[in-house]
Structure 1
């Protein structure tokens, strides 16, 4: 396994690498991988359900609260598994009900 920051572009002008392609790769390489979902809450200021995310390769100080809707788009299986494993938690029940998670 290699981190995207360690990859280098192969410089062959016949490949037609454009500035748009380079910008796309640079933008998408900043994504982190969800390691685990830790906790659910309803964010009063954001008025949305959120999940506390542990990111792979980052310490727990860098865990972040992310909108459930975003996580359902990116890692739906993890969200559904978290909801099933924590169905007695009132915050998880509320989240599952609001987002149609069985």
Structure 2
């Protein structure tokens, strides 16, 4: 019995010593990828949330890449190769289908414009009146300003800067 367990341990050590280490996939400019972001939701600091598809716009070196969203506002971020996966559907899909997939991946709706702001009479918090891409004007909705600031910070700031003398915008 001792011999059998010793043989298994020796075989495992040999297999382990033959491994060359982790091999990262090679990416090139123009590839469609999924990009991971570490989340702290589960209490595990290594929990990853995969988003995309995104497009690699620049290789900074063999392991670091600039990736851009393929939907507005086309944000660019720097990602390590260990946080990228090749998007397998890219070869089959047209650009429009990839954009639809990216929209679905971020929650299904994109902000087209911010139309107004107010202090909610019910929650006593600031809200933004949002016009959504692909939806009719009657489907526009009041959304918490904090959420809009997180989701579309550049559009949010541009809306506030457009009328600096508006007292509600000044308070937000």
- TM-score, reference length from structure 1: 0.64
- For the residue of structure 2 that corresponds to 1:80, the secondary structure is helix
Query: Partner residue of 2:158?
Result: 81
Which residue in 2 is equivalent to 1:40? 117
Measured in 1, the distance between the counterparts of 2:117 and 2:107 equals 25
Separation (CA, whole Å) in 2 of partners of 1:31 and 1:87 = 31
- Identify unmatched segments of 5+ residues in structure 1: 8-26, 96-102
Once the two structures are TM-superposed, the CA of residue 92 in structure 1 deviates from its matched residue by 1.0
Q: SS of 2:146's equivalent?
A: helix
Q: 1:34 to 1:86 in 2, by over 3 A?
A: same
Q: 1:44 to 1:88 in 2, by over 3 A?
A: same
1:92 aligned onto 2:172: no
CA RMSD of aligned residues (A): 2.1
- Residue 79 to residue 29, structure 1, CA distance change in 2 (3 Å): closer
Task: Determine the C-alpha separation between the residues in 2 that align with 1:48 and 1:73.
Answer: 15
User: Which string of whole-angstrom CA distances, capped at 9 and with x for unpartnered residues, describes residues 32-63 of structure 1?
Assistant: 00000000100020111000000011111000
Pairwise mapping of residues 43-58 of structure 1 onto structure 2 (< 5 A)? 43-58=120-135
SS in 1 for 2:109: coil
Greater helix share, structure number? 1
Per-residue deviation, residues 4-28 of structure 1 (Å, max 9, x unmatched)? 3xx6xxxxxxxxxxxxxxxxxxx84
Higher percent of residues as strand: 2
Bigger Rg over Cα: 2
Q: Which has the higher contact order (CA 8 A, sep 6+)?
A: 1
| Match runs of 1:3-82 below 5 Å | 4=100, 28=105, 30-82=107-159
